[in-house]
Amino acid sequence: MKPIKSIKSINATEPKRESRASNSLQIMIKQVEDKEGEYVAYYRSEFLNATYLVYFRDNIFGSVALHEFSEMIKSKYKESEVKFEISNERVQFKSKALLEAMSDSRV
């Protein structure tokens, strides 16, 4: 997997379960399969049985989108810290229409 250029300062850590005592939230980042420089970052809420995500590109706008996403999650859950984990796995979308909608492009 090609390194993410615009997110050099992210600390890769082991995944953690949602925990109010830890004061940190774990956001996973995966590259989109067959889409060079395109990524999905997501946070899984066990309590709500829901997943929040952002689709972004490896550029300055993607960096801003990822930052805003992490701030939104942090404020929603009133936690003091967000930790990112960069996965070697790739996200594969089974629906071309969903991929097009998320990436705002034609496959």
In this prediction, residue 47 carries a pLDDT of: 87
Give me the residues paired with residue 82 across strands.
25
Element at 97 (helix H, strand E): helix 96-103
* Contact yes or no for 57/66 (Cβ under 8 A): no
Q: For residue 106, is it left (φ>0), alpha (ψ between -120 and 50) or beta?
A: beta
3 state SS of 56: strand
Q: Which amino acid is at 90?
A: R
pLDDT in tens, the chain (107 residues): 455 544 433 434 444 444 444 567 899 999 998 888 999 999 998 888 999 999 999 999 999 999 999 999 988 888 778 888 989 888 877 777 777 777 775 44
Q: How many residues does the chain have?
A: 107
Round to whole Å and give the CA distance between 5 and 71. 20
pLDDT of the residue at 77: 82
Q: What pLDDT score does 20 carry?
A: 46
In the DSSP assignment, the letter for residue 1 is: -
